[in-house]
Amino acid sequence: MQLTNEEKRMKAGEYGPGTQRAMDLLVKYGDSFDAEQFAPISYGHISYDFCPEEFWNLMTEGVGKTPHRVTTHPSYSPEVWKQWGLSLADNWAGEHERKLKRFLELGWLRTETCAEYLLGIMPRKGDIVSMGGSCMQVANNSLFGARVDRMGILISLAAAVCGRTPLMGLLVPENRFASHMVELEDLDVSNWTIAHYHCLGYYIGDQVPGFKPVAVNGLPPNLPFDFARALVISMPTSGSVTLGHIVGTTPEAPTLEAALGGKKPEHVIRVGKREMTQTWERLNVWDDNTVEHVAFGCPHATIDEIGRIAALVEGKKLKASLLIGASAPVEALARRQGWADIIEKAGGHFEPVCPSITNPFTRPDIAGKNQAKSAATDSARSAHYLATVSGVKVFFGTEEECVNAAITGRWKGEVPRWK
Amino acid sequence: MEIRAHMVSAGTAEGEAVVYKGPFSFLGDLDPATGKVPVPRHQLEGHVLANKVFVFTTGKGSSGGDFAAWVAKKNGNAPAAMICLESEPVLSGAVIVTGIPTVDKPEKDVFELIHTGDYIKVDATKGIIEVVGK
């Protein structure tokens, strides 16, 4: 890679050992992809809680306040977990607190969410952002037209420390055209909910090799934001898709031709009733219908979603534990609306945690003897990680089916009758 | 027999090959506590990847692949070296951060020439795979 004088100074250690190590890693990383130079980032996004403490200390040693904004992924709340009676919560406290203290010293923003765009922190079209967390990578790329490359959690910390990322992959405009195209065959989407779009995204992610951009054709134009978001964020769960154009909805796909860059697609993926049914069934991993936990907020909940859940649980007493993953500002708005209190009165909880990978109720290494052994969700991404990371039984269905399960403790969800 | 390839992460290592013609994620496909593949119904379910030369197609899955690789490496349960057809950013970041010698873009068909159990030497820095034999 060709380094600027500033980058050479970073690599020579003039900005301290953390920056030097971070730059050394980024150069090796860029070289392995034949990147020729770095690009400055508009902002960086990292995860301190997912980052092993030794690596965190190596990268941040001697680093001062950064001139660029850095934000963070969903976090842990060991103190709150303890109040909820989760018996192994204490194991998580020390490391979390040490890293958080350093994070704040760096002047970085404690957004603690995988949906920062709900806080007004969103890239503009063309902005270069370095980030860990495949669900916001695909959201920022697809829904806002930002330039975000696929990247791991640890490398994203190195990029945030240095304020730059190798110019490669999806940062390069000509690499952003879709090579794979999805055609909906015999599906009427007029009664689809968020869960239906999750299911479609999960199927697509599984069908696209590597992280090639994909274009979804045949959906109604200007798809509601929550639907578009559900569709793209479940793609990098079953696979590695990092850019999903939705023709007629997302900024780089006003037309199919624009999404494909005027070329013919390399592959066409056809989706019909059969594929949707198989995927919906695959996301359900359970034998008896007892539901011990319900997880919402993958990705972190919107205020509309919280409002709908509040209306459904008002005056009820929940039989299953219910967690809504939401950022603190969205939770604060829900509280001002009176919705947070309604949900908490029914027995629900809010937390800026990842309700899928580190769901404190289902993770045996957090909940201990109080672990919920089964969980319902309307997110395919959540279903995937609850089953594989927590190893619990999973019910996948609509928001309404999930709320009913929280109230009754029983699953009555059904595979949709596709129109 | 030698196969030339492209360096992803520098270093040299050797060991027995484990060959899998599919994609791999450090998060989910490798148990950092045992060094084995924990995935039910996976072709490699129960196989040990720790200290082996793992041959596969490409990376996949969560951006947490690199921190999972870090934990596996600290536990002594990461592969000794890795050979894949074409790497991708999460996998490359993981092997660079943890220092696992890795090459991609081999000039010959590694799935034809390397079999599980073969003894393999990888000089990632020079971009050379040496198939020593059984």
- Name the pLDDT band for B40 (thresholds 50, 70, 90): confident
Please name the residues in contact with A343: beta carbons below 8 A apart, sequence gap of 6 or more: A306, A309, A310, A313, A322, A324, A334, A350
A239 neighbourhood in chain B, CB within 8 Å: 60-61
Alpha-carbon distances of A113 from A288, A351, A363, B82, rounded to whole Å: 33, 10, 19, 34
The reported pLDDT for the residue numbered A299 is 97
Catalytic residue (one of B9, B62, B87, B92): B62
B65 neighbourhood in chain A, CB within 8 Å: 152
The reported pLDDT for the residue numbered A210 is 80
A188 close to B129: Cβ distance less than 8 angstroms: no
Torsion angle defined by CA atoms of residues A254, A260, A261 and A267, in that order, rounded to the nearest 10 degrees: 180
**Positions in chain A short of pLDDT 50:** none
Residue B53 gets the label, from left (phi > 0), alpha (psi -120 to 50) or beta, of beta
A307 close to A337: Cβ distance less than 8 angstroms: yes
| Count of CB atoms situated within 10 Å of the CB of B86 | 15
Q: H-helix or E-strand containing B2?
A: strand B2-4
pTM over 0.80: yes
Interchain pair A150, B74: CB under 8 A? no
What's the rounded Cα separation, in Å, for the pair B75 and B69?
A: 10
- 3 state SS of A76: coil
What's the rounded Cα separation, in Å, for the pair A138 and A245?
A: 10
Handedness of CA B50, B56, B59, B61 (dihedral sign): negative
Interchain pair A155, B67: CB under 8 A? no
Cα A151 to its chain centre, rounded Å, is 13
| Shortest distance, CA A412 to any CA of chain B (angstroms) | 27
pLDDT at B134 over 80: no
pLDDT at B42 over 90: no
What's the rounded Cα separation, in Å, for the pair A90 and B104?
A: 42
Verify whether residue B62 is a known catalytic residue: yes
Please name the residues in contact with A30: beta carbons below 8 A apart, sequence gap of 6 or more: A1, A38, A166, A168
A277 close to A244: Cβ distance less than 8 angstroms: no
**Strand pairing category for B128-133 and B119-123:** antiparallel
The reported pLDDT for the residue numbered A142 is 98
Please name the residues in contact with A319: beta carbons below 8 A apart, sequence gap of 6 or more: A406, A407, A408, A409
Interchain pair A154, B94: CB under 8 A? yes
The reported pLDDT for the residue numbered B39 is 77
Q: Structure tokens of A225? A: 């934001």
A272 close to A299: Cβ distance less than 8 angstroms: no
Closest CA to B63 of A137, A208, A293, A201: A137
Domains (range + CATH), chain A: 5-173 (3.30.499), 177-280 (no CATH), 284-408 (3.30.499.10)
Q: H-helix or E-strand containing A32?
A: helix A17-32
The reported pLDDT for the residue numbered B62 is 85
Q: H-helix or E-strand containing A269?
A: strand A267-271
B84 close to B72: Cβ distance less than 8 angstroms: no
User: B2-133 has which fold?
Assistant: Glucose Oxidase; domain 1 (3.50.30)
The reported pLDDT for the residue numbered A95 is 96
The reported pLDDT for the residue numbered A14 is 97
Q: Structure tokens of A388? A: 């594989």
Say if A51 is an interface residue toward chain B (CB within 8 Å): yes
A14 close to A64: Cβ distance less than 8 angstroms: no
The reported pLDDT for the residue numbered A202 is 96
| Shortest distance, CA A1 to any CA of chain B (angstroms) | 14
B60 neighbourhood in chain A, CB within 8 Å: 210, 239-240
Would you kindly state where each structural domain of chain B is located, as residue ranges? 2-133
Say if B85 is an interface residue toward chain A (CB within 8 Å): no
A207 neighbourhood in chain B, CB within 8 Å: none
Q: Structure tokens of A337? A: 């609306």
